[in-house]
Amino acid sequence: MSIPTRVKLVEVGPRDGLQNEKQDVPAAVKIELVHRLQAAGLKEIEVTSFVSPKWVPQMADNAEVMAGIHRLPGVRYSVLTPNLKGFEAALLTKPDEIVVFASASEAFSQKNINCSIAESIERFAPVVDAARAAGIYVRGAMSCSVGCPYEGEVAPARVGYLAGLMRSIGVQHVGVADTIGVGTPLKVQRAMEATLRHFDLDDVSGHFHDTYGQALANTLICLQMGVWQFDASVAGLGGCPYAKGATGNVASEDVVYLLHGMGIETGIDLDKLIDAGQFISDFLGRSTQSRAGKALFNKRPD
């Protein structure tokens, strides 16, 4: 399989990146972050989630954020919807895409959303039906596709099982997520191969956390398989509240630096992306987690 000449990045920083921040991030800051990301050329932005504020208080301003965004033509704005109630609230804000999520690990599913994998899929089926009836694209996130904080290693067969269930309820695209960042290239390759038995190459993406510094290596193995869509988070924001020790998503700046260095088009202005990462890092009062972002920012003239 030849390496793709163009890659699409889904920017998950505003949602997946910020959801676990302890300090309150005002809606105005989230909106400004989205504006900076789209100005940098991002065409796919995961903006917020419509979950109970009891569980994720950081996303309680979801409707305000969606209403405040100046939408650009050609940009797809997505939101996470865990159930029908969340979807109905999201629908009022006119998202272009919704994201449903399930785990390849039975233990993680129980800890995260208090139900089995099969039960989670039953819960999502009416959400998927409603979204597709409304003309809204449906993406599925498959968490713990390589390893689980409770079960340890997750077999590729479990990933294939989940992908098949996702396909059966009408999910149009799935992301293979290494939620706790324990994956190494061959393990990720096997998880992706199991997924590709149920979804076409154009309908899969990689979502890698950099806990053990493997995210770019895992991205590269997927590129070599022909995968051309990946999630990333500006400044390396994010983690997982139910996965102890899981650090941030792979930084968007690092992925773009890798891709541009390989001659792969992204449509993203790396300098503007670094500025977006600095903006949110400055607000949070810490330095960016992006290695490329930090290096290139420090090289700028004073």
**Hey, which residues are catalytic here?**
240
CB atoms within 10 A of CB 96: 16
DSSP 206: E
Structure tokens at 68: 């405040």
Rounded Cα gap, residues 209 and 153, in angstroms: 16
Under DSSP, is residue 232 helix (H, G, I), strand (E, B) or coil? strand
CA distances from 58 to 24, 48, 101 (A): 6, 9, 18
CA nearest 182: which of 151, 222, 160? Answer: 151
What angle (nearest 5°) sits at the alpha carbon of residue 254, between those of residues 187 and 66? 100
Instruction: Name every residue whose Cβ is closer than 8 Å to that of residue 300 and which is 6 or more positions away in sequence.
Output: none
- Is residue 296 within 8 A of residue 261, CB to CB? The reply is no
Torsion of CA 27, 29, 35, 41, to 10 degrees: -120
Tell me the two tokens of residue 167: 């396909």
Number of helices (H), then strands (E), belonging to the chain: the values are 11, 10
How is residue 224 written in tokens? Answer: 């070599």
Contact yes or no for 15/59 (Cβ under 8 A): yes
